[in-house]
Chain A
């Protein structure tokens, strides 16, 4: 390799004992920066605990989620029922652990879909000027101006049964809800990415990369996307929160998961009629949704700062 440069002989001599230790990994550096962001660290720990809880919890807390016990209706928190019970005497702790899996999975999956769609559409629009850009932005505006709720009703009404037949009731509703929520939340991301691209693609370093032989795809993947990720990460964390809440809205309308599947939104919805006699019923899912959303937002904030090397931390 050195031989290809005439000057290498001298350079090699100079470089002599240059230590060839591996370059500091990008991840290590980002982690060092992330750790300094106290709130983000706090958010990560809380979120980690919640995710760990809902993943492992149902195996440790073996009370069935649909065990009806009318003797313990609307009971407050106790040792037998740490989060109390609902109007059928079902154990809320077990239902929360089980429902958390679904709520968090819906939130994350919908976020991934929204970000994926948004980044791809925004990137294509931002890099190609003229007709393609205009067409994609029309599409974005179209989606933004659609009346979402009636459309959601229609889509779910049309496809719920056929999907249920293919992948089973629970999975079918999950896929449908994720696609519906994700499919209606990509527009802000697309606009963000496009706006970033429009300013970034005129930057000198993009021109310099082009002058050094980078192909358009490489320009996008290596130079434009990494530089436009900051706002996308923040938008993504907001999307997770919005998806968890949107899922409860759908459950409220009877369009989400069936009533016997206890998602956090569903539990909250069921609790609303008993707020005066059993406030604990609404408080626990409400607090958990709140904590999850908040910690995801902090996590996103920290990620954005940690991944931006210009930020002095």
Chain B
């Protein structure tokens, strides 16, 4: 942590391969743990990732794998206590967000990093019109006048393609549908022209057509406004459509990181391979009449984990050395790295599983079915 001053010039980063511009956001070895009655839950346990200017980074993983906690830690919105940021740093344009005072952090929120939440139905204050809510953000950060801020609200609604924005600014949240509210949330998040917008499962609560519209809108706005997007989701389909680079998380750790095309074409971690196999495919399913594959077992408990690969309990190729030590994330090709001892081997050449489930480093939440 202490020796990070040189990093910005040299680009000496653990996961970023090859020379490139200094990333906008660089999370290094972040550890967010939660203190519970049963012990420490290692929700985020040594996560590193970075986002470049103007890029869309997808973060994918099952529920409880730590994607949202990572995002909330970046925004410094995790409740402390029970949460504790045990280690790591979050470099944002040369500053460590974890070292900022609360007031400095407040100035960064919305102006530089904004966030859109999963649940649009409850993310707006029911007692104010949406115009007032957007204007509030503008007035808070830009010391704009009431009229000026309200004009900006109309402009933002127009930007997120809400019809008749001049009338709609005066409406209350309950007069909007879920998809419209998510647009309003995006408008609020973008109202101060942030450099990075973190979307925490922005489409999970919406139906499929609206999902596509919101994703299109996000991609479009990203290009028009030149901002970076950190898109958290559990849907591989969303990632494939939207992201340029993908980080796959499992049980509080990054298990694979790759450009989106590379990840789908050539997944190296068994977990990623399982995820991709579990996407329903209309072409092969219709012909072969195969059952949709699922990753067997469940996400392990993150309570006081022991060293070793956390996917070992569910991995079809797990070996004794997998549970001896945590396999580090290592480069496979340019911009592609995976945390698996067999990262270089194609799936067909990997040996079958040779340990039983009880040897897994994390408490065996459920035996391998």
The interface of chain A, by Cβ under 8 A from chain B, is 1-2, 4-8, 10-12, 14-15, 18-20, 23-24, 203-205, 207-215, 218, 222-223, 226-227, 307-310
Q: What's the Cα separation between A297 and B137 when bound, in Å?
A: 37
* Shortest beta-carbon distance from A125 to chain B in Å: 18
Interface residues of B in 127-161 (CB under 8 A from A): 127-129, 131, 136-137, 140-142, 144, 148, 150-152, 154-155, 158-159
| Complex A-B: 16 CB contacts under 8 Å | A5-B159, A5-B193, A6-B224, A23-B150, A204-B117, A204-B123, A208-B123, A211-B77, A212-B189, A214-B106, A214-B140, A222-B136, A223-B125, A227-B126, A307-B127, A309-B129
B166 at the interface (CB under 8 A from A): yes
Enumerate the 9 nearest inter-chain pairs by beta-carbon distance, A residue then B residue, closest first.
A213-B109, A212-B110, A211-B115, A7-B224, A204-B122, A309-B172, A204-B123, A213-B110, A208-B123
Interface size on B, residues (CB 8 A): 50
Name the residue in B144, B159, B169 with the highest tally of chain A Cβ atoms < 10 Å from its Cβ: B159
* Shortest beta-carbon distance from B319 to chain A in Å: 43
Q: Contacting B158 at CB < 8 Å: which of A15, A19, A222, A309?
A: A15
A213 contacts which chain B residues (CB < 8 A)?
106-111, 137, 140-141
Query: Contact at A1–B152, with CB atoms within 8 Å?
Result: yes
B206 at the interface (CB under 8 A from A): no
B124 contacts which chain A residues (CB < 8 A)?
205, 208
B151 contacts which chain A residues (CB < 8 A)?
1, 20
Query: Contact at B140–A218, with CB atoms within 8 Å?
Result: yes
Query: Contact at A18–B126, with CB atoms within 8 Å?
Result: no
8 more CB-based (< 8 A) A-B contacts, given A211-B114, A310-B126: A6-B224, A20-B151, A23-B170, A205-B126, A207-B123, A208-B124, A208-B185, A226-B125
Query: Contact at A203–B122, with CB atoms within 8 Å?
Result: yes
Give the number of A-B contacts (CB < 8 Å): 110
B75 contacts which chain A residues (CB < 8 A)?
211
Q: What's the Cα separation between A207 and B75 when bound, in Å?
A: 11
Q: Contacting A205 at CB < 8 Å: which of B103, B110, B115, B122?
A: B122
Query: Contact at A211–B117, with CB atoms within 8 Å?
Result: yes
Closest to B149 in A: A1
Query: Contact at B77–A210, with CB atoms within 8 Å?
Result: yes
B279 at the interface (CB under 8 A from A): no
A5 contacts which chain B residues (CB < 8 A)?
155, 159, 193, 225
Closest to B124 in A: A205
A218 contacts which chain B residues (CB < 8 A)?
140
Q: What's the Cα separation between A141 and B142 when bound, in Å?
A: 44
B53 contacts which chain A residues (CB < 8 A)?
none
Query: Contact at B154–A15, with CB atoms within 8 Å?
Result: yes
B159 contacts which chain A residues (CB < 8 A)?
5, 7, 11
Q: What's the Cα separation between A214 and B109 when bound, in Å?
A: 9
Q: Contacting B172 at CB < 8 Å: which of A11, A226, A310?
A: A310
A4 contacts which chain B residues (CB < 8 A)?
142, 193
B174 at the interface (CB under 8 A from A): yes
A212 contacts which chain B residues (CB < 8 A)?
109-110, 114-115, 137, 140, 188-189
Name the residue in B131, B158, B188 with the highest tally of chain A Cβ atoms < 10 Å from its Cβ: B158
* Shortest beta-carbon distance from A306 to chain B in Å: 12
Q: Contacting A23 at CB < 8 Å: which of B108, B169, B225?
A: B169
* Shortest beta-carbon distance from A76 to chain B in Å: 52
- Given the known inter-chain contacts A213-B110, A213-B137, A222-B136, please indicate yes or no for A1 contacting B144, CB distance below 8 A: yes
- Given the known inter-chain contacts A4-B193, A310-B172, please indicate yes or no for A18 contacting B127, CB distance below 8 A: no
B226 at the interface (CB under 8 A from A): yes
B298 at the interface (CB under 8 A from A): no
B119 at the interface (CB under 8 A from A): yes
* Shortest beta-carbon distance from A32 to chain B in Å: 13
B119 contacts which chain A residues (CB < 8 A)?
204
Interface residues of B in 193-251 (CB under 8 A from A): 193, 221, 224-226
Closest to A4 in B: B193
* Shortest beta-carbon distance from A168 to chain B in Å: 43
Query: Contact at A215–B106, with CB atoms within 8 Å?
Result: yes
* Shortest beta-carbon distance from A285 to chain B in Å: 40
* Shortest beta-carbon distance from A128 to chain B in Å: 13
Q: What's the Cα separation between A23 and B153 when bound, in Å?
A: 12
B170 contacts which chain A residues (CB < 8 A)?
23-24
Closest to A1 in B: B148
B193 contacts which chain A residues (CB < 8 A)?
4-5
Interface residues of B in 83-128 (CB under 8 A from A): 103, 106-111, 114-115, 117, 119, 122-128
B111 contacts which chain A residues (CB < 8 A)?
213
Q: What's the Cα separation between A59 and B108 when bound, in Å?
A: 62
Q: Mark B61-96, 1 if CB is under 8 A from A, else 0.
A: 000000000000001010000000000000000000
B169 contacts which chain A residues (CB < 8 A)?
23
* Shortest beta-carbon distance from B147 to chain A in Å: 8
* Shortest beta-carbon distance from A304 to chain B in Å: 12
- Given the known inter-chain contacts A7-B159, A23-B170, A213-B109, please indicate yes or no for A309 contacting B127, CB distance below 8 A: yes
A205 contacts which chain B residues (CB < 8 A)?
122-126
Closest to A200 in B: B125
* Shortest beta-carbon distance from A212 to chain B in Å: 4
Closest to A224 in B: B125
* Shortest beta-carbon distance from A312 to chain B in Å: 9
Closest to A25 in B: B170
* Shortest beta-carbon distance from B50 to chain A in Å: 21
* Shortest beta-carbon distance from A24 to chain B in Å: 5
Q: Contacting B127 at CB < 8 Å: which of A1, A19, A227?
A: A227
Q: What's the Cα separation between A104 and B127 when bound, in Å?
A: 31
Query: Contact at B109–A12, with CB atoms within 8 Å?
Result: no
